[in-house]
Amino acid sequence: MAVDNSTSAQSKSAAPVNDPGKIRNVVFIGSSGAGKTTVVEGLLVATGEIGRAGSVAEGTTVTDYEDIEHKTNRSVGLALAPISFGGVKINLIDAPGYADYLGDLRAAIRGADAAVFVISAVDGISGATRLLWDELARVRMPRAILITKLDNPRADYDEVVAECRRSFGESVLPMMVPIYQSEAQIGKLLDILTGKVVDFTSGKRAVRDAEGDELGKMERNREAFIEALITESGDEDLMEAYLEGDELDGEALKADLQKAMAAASFFPIMPMAAAGGIGTDELLYLIRDGFPSPVVAELPEVLDPNGKEVQVSCDPKGPLVAEVIKTTQDPYVGRISIARVFSGTLRAESTVHVEGHGSGDPDGSTHSSNERVGTLTSPLGAKQRPVPYAVAGDLAAVARLVGAETGDTLSDPNKPLVAQPWMSPEAMLPVAIKAVNSSDEDKLGTGLNRLVSEDPTLRVEHNPETGQTVLWTMGDAHVDVTFQRLADKFGVQVERIPYRVALRETFNRKVTAEGRHIKQSGGHGQYAKCQIEVEPLGPGEGFEFVDKVVGGSVPRQFIPSVEKGVKSQMAKGVLAGYPVVDIRVTLFDGKAHSVDSSDAAFQMAGAVGLREAAKQAGVISLLEPVVSLSILVDDDHVGAIMSDLSSRRGRLTGTESIAGGRTMVKADVPQFEVTGYATDLRSMSRGTGSFTSQYLGHEPMPPHRVEAVIAEAATK
């Protein structure tokens, strides 16, 4: 989208914006190595927000920003940087491209109204790239494609464009076409929308009319682009003028571009060679003139305290509705919340109502409170530039919201509202942990609670059956970052320990046994005998205690004591230390002493009776949990996935073809075999696979596995 040199990128202050129509919220998304951060960096330099390495513009250099971005992505997961260009404030959101940070990616998408999808001209499109595109398509996010690294000798713009169209559809078309003046050096860009040429051959950016061979290349690309643009925008008047051969109005084309992009039905492709700054201004003009403003963006559903939907719009004068898309801890300021304002105006030093969905609450309940907003800032990396307010459509960093968690809604205390949360991915990699120093146990609990409130993809489970503290994470990189944050922020060193699957023990045939607890001492002794019969029940039927004592051989007051003792032993296990389930215990006889029998003695006798019953050969089975996996992978990897599932004792239950060359594989697999499946699947599918898991029940474990578990229990 070529513009005359007189309106090239200028440095603007980050003053608060009053008109939502003058805001663009843009997320940069791409696979690792695609060059997202370099692009964002170039935009910051072009608009004067930061200087080149060695300069002192705004006190921040490119080198500083690289360090800021690296630390931010490791600890926060997304970076926010506002710039001003041509009278418009552009909030740049640099989102992570790693699968472990899918939660941060979705948070970044929630804060944006459009996306720049970054693809390396050297690396092309991978399965992981397609997954990122699917994330945007899932929420119908308006987007443009930016092809980077075009100054690399191995770059092939035309081939990547063709690959984009094969992968993403016919509505993906180049809006700029590069012309090289020498190998790996772009001399000109053909602007297909305006029909102009952006010429860099003199060493400076100049805009002129097409001439010579440029005319033919322009025409060949322009016909398909204009037809698709007008079709997707639904502009019948412009289509009629185009078909009649009339000269097309440039402003009308820009309006149609914004309309088609806002509908997420048309996706222009832009080129960039960041090292020479080629394509930087063109991307800025596209964002300003083609990307939708918050005014036309779709807002999340908003509810009142009674659950009734409330209609809100991107109006600074409307009721306040803002959402925390990310929280983090600053060593000097404390908690900082990055908030997107959907409606109303968020003001510094005001009181807001904080309403949450229970992401950090142990019982999953909602939480709500009134809190005073601290300073509002417009952040650039580590720099926090104060602003008095943020209007609907804008983003800002909010200080000192102690009770606010990622995903919480901020609203007027006199009119509390809540925005429906975005869908957070489910953490699928369990990691058992413990504090290196036992004295840090209390700090570990505090630290984990704080991290969970900041990161909805992190889940903490305190498993009463195994006695372990388990972190449910997105992958190994997520684990490493969590450990580092615990050390840096809370001074707690943690280590991984072997993860224990919650097994069960049960009886597989009927047996009888006697429980005896007889102890003599100088005073009152202890005396209790009980005869019990133990038999298996069906899966999931639990525990049943039957009293068949006749003749008072066990006094009535001690019969509940026997049951209590049996239950106590069931909780401890009788074979490998796992709970006993699905049995019926029948008390049919016993013996008591008039002086030495007691409640405690018969509890002990009941526990001993269950242990004695278990000692009989072949009566105990170990049960392991079985889960149903639904695995979505590219068709190329189906064979490898199915073979791997077979090696994990999986039972294939079906396959289903999914549009886009993908297959859903379904199988029932012992949980013991898939504790690290999140990492293994990523490796087998080259980052393209995903899965969900659902508990089915417990089933008998094979004998050779039982032997290994018993041996491990004996060692411990």
pLDDT of residue 52: 61
pLDDT of residue 707: 84
The residue among 434 and 714 whose pLDDT is bigger is: 434
Q: What is the pLDDT of residues 186-218, one digit of tens each?
A: 999 999 999 999 999 888 899 999 999 899 999
User: Over 60: is that where the pLDDT of 128 sits?
Assistant: yes
Q: What is the mean pLDDT of residues 696-709?
A: 89
Q: What is the pLDDT of residues 647-676, one digit of tens each?
A: 999 999 999 998 878 899 999 999 999 999
Write down the residue that tokens 């294939």 correspond to: 652
- Helix ranges (DSSP H) in 385-474: 441-454
- ∠ CA 541-546-551 to the nearest 5 degrees? 175
pLDDT of residue 249: 79
Q: What is the pLDDT of residues 258-297, one digit of tens each?
A: 999 999 999 999 999 977 789 999 999 999 999 999 999 9
d(CA 283, CA 118): 12
Q: What is the pLDDT of residues 7-39, one digit of tens each?
A: 444 333 357 899 999 999 999 999 888 999 899
In the Cβ-directed half-sphere of 133, how many Cα atoms lie within 13 Å?
20
Non-local (6+) Cβ contacts of 255 within 8 A are: 233
User: Mean pLDDT lowest for which of 330-334, 472-476, 604-608?
Assistant: 330-334
User: Over 80: is that where the pLDDT of 231 sits?
Assistant: yes
Q: For residue 286, which of 176, 188, 199, 208 has the smallest C-alpha distance?
A: 176
User: Over 80: is that where the pLDDT of 132 sits?
Assistant: yes
- Torsion angle, CA of 214/220/226/229, rounded to 10 degrees? -110
d(CA 81, CA 657): 41
User: Over 70: is that where the pLDDT of 640 sits?
Assistant: yes
Q: Which domains, ranges and CATH numbers included, belong to the chain? A: 21-290 (3.40.50.300), 302-419 (2.40.30.10), 429-497 (3.30.70.870), 504-618 (3.30.230.10), 622-715 (3.30.70.240)
Burial string for 437-468 (b: 16+ CB within 10 Å, else e) reads: eeebeeebbebbebbbbbbbbbbbeeeeebeb
d(CA 659, CA 145): 22
Most confidently predicted of 18-27, 69-78, 121-130: 18-27
Q: What is the mean pLDDT of residues 156-177?
A: 94
User: Over 90: is that where the pLDDT of 357 sits?
Assistant: no
Q: Is 627 exposed, middle or buried (0-12, 13-18, 19+ CB in 10 A)?
A: buried
pLDDT of residue 7: 41
Q: What percent of the chain has pLDDT over 90?
A: 66
User: Over 90: is that where the pLDDT of 383 sits?
Assistant: no
Q: Is 178 exposed, middle or buried (0-12, 13-18, 19+ CB in 10 A)?
A: buried
pLDDT of residue 11: 33
User: Over 80: is that where the pLDDT of 329 sits?
Assistant: no
d(CA 299, CA 296): 9
DSSP 337-378: EEEEEEESEEETT-EEEEEE-STT-TT---EEEEEE---EEE
Q: Please, which pLDDT band fits residue 53 given cuts at 50, 70 and 90?
A: very low
Non-local (6+) Cβ contacts of 71 within 8 A are: none
Q: For residue 419, which of 247, 554, 304 has the smallest C-alpha distance?
A: 304
Mean pLDDT score of the chain, rounded to an integer? 88
Burial string for 538-571 (b: 16+ CB within 10 Å, else e) reads: eeeeeeebeeebeeeebeeebbebbbbbbbebbe
Tokens of 529: 């005998």
Amino acid present at 662: R
Amino acid present at 89: K
Q: What is the mean pLDDT of residues 375-389?
A: 83
Q: Please, which pLDDT band fits residue 365 given cuts at 50, 70 and 90?
A: low
The residue among 73 and 458 whose pLDDT is bigger is: 458
d(CA 143, CA 124): 18
User: Mean pLDDT lowest for which of 52-56, 356-360, 690-694?
Assistant: 52-56
User: Over 60: is that where the pLDDT of 148 sits?
Assistant: yes
d(CA 237, CA 456): 48
- ∠ CA 318-319-321 to the nearest 5 degrees? 115
Query: What are residue 153's phi and psi, to 5 degrees?
Result: -60, -25
Q: Let me know: does 164 contact 119? Beta carbons within 8 Å.
A: yes
d(CA 581, CA 561): 19
Q: Let me know: does 605 contact 562? Beta carbons within 8 Å.
A: yes
Q: Let me know: does 584 contact 544? Beta carbons within 8 Å.
A: yes
In residues, how long is the chain?
716
Amino acid present at 537: L
Q: What is the mean pLDDT of residues 237-257?
A: 84
pLDDT of residue 1: 67
pLDDT of residue 44: 92
Give 249's DSSP letter: P
Q: Please, which pLDDT band fits residue 331 given cuts at 50, 70 and 90?
A: low
pLDDT of residue 382: 64
Tokens of 430: 């369990």
Q: What is the pLDDT of residues 483-509, one digit of tens each?
A: 999 998 899 999 999 999 999 999 999
In this prediction the pTM is: 0.84
Q: What is the pLDDT of residues 385-397, one digit of tens each?
A: 899 999 999 999 9
User: Over 80: is that where the pLDDT of 344 sits?
Assistant: yes
DSSP 30-78: --TTS-HHHHHHHHHHHTTSSBPTT--GGG-BHHHHHHHHHHHHHHTS-
pLDDT of residue 5: 46
Q: Let me know: does 8 contact 47? Beta carbons within 8 Å.
A: no
Q: Let me know: does 469 contact 500? Beta carbons within 8 Å.
A: no
Helix (H) or strand (E) holding 161, with range, is helix 157-168
Q: Let me know: does 190 contact 221? Beta carbons within 8 Å.
A: yes
Write down the residue that tokens 């080149």 correspond to: 52
Q: What is the pLDDT of residues 623-638, one digit of tens each?
A: 999 999 999 999 999 9
